[in-house]
Amino acid sequence: MTESTRQKKIAGVLQNDLALVLQKMLRDSGQQGIIISVTKVSVTVDLSMSNVYVSVFPADKASLIVKELNELKPKIKHQIAQKTRYQLRRMPDLVFYNDDSLEYINKIEDALKGEENPIKDPKLLPKRKNI
């Protein structure tokens, strides 16, 4: 099903504001060497829920960061609501997910360059998770 214009606008506003808030929270926490980017935000038809896909570098810390983000949802939601108070009447609930598409692409590229070619043996790469 395609997104309406309103859903796309709200998703764009949330994506920009979430990126700013998450990067500020990461700087304030003092964790060095971690980069967070908000790759996609999708909003449900009734505008009550939003799925936020986050890409984390380095990838080995991604699951821990996403878990922490889901625990800090009320604080993040409050900060976003303060930023968007003149744009949104009601702040949608946030659910954070890890976006592993870059890792998947890198695995394919490495496999094609190396000796283990997945074209010759497709069992080498894991099945792609649907997001």
Q: Do 30 and 83 belong to one domain?
A: yes
* Tally of domains within the chain: 2
Segment (H or E) for 107: helix 101-113
Q: Are 41 and 29 part of one and the same domain?
A: yes
Do 80 and 118 lie in one domain? The reply is: no
Cα–Cα distance list, 10 to 33, 60, 103, 126 (Å)? 31, 31, 28, 34
Is the same domain home to 121 and 84?
no
Total-model pTM:
0.78
At 97, which helix (H) or strand (E)? strand 93-98
Which residue segment(s) compose the domain that 111 sits in? 101-131
Sheet holding 93-98, edge to edge: 35-43, 49-57, 93-98
- Mind listing the pLDDT tens digit of every residue in the chain (131 residues)? 688 899 999 999 999 999 999 999 988 887 778 889 999 999 999 989 999 999 988 888 888 999 999 999 999 999 999 998 888 888 999 999 998 888 788 877 877 777 666 677 777 677 766 66
**Whether residue 29 is found in the same domain as residue 85:** yes
What is d(CA 110, CA 115) in angstroms, rounded to the nearest whole number? 9
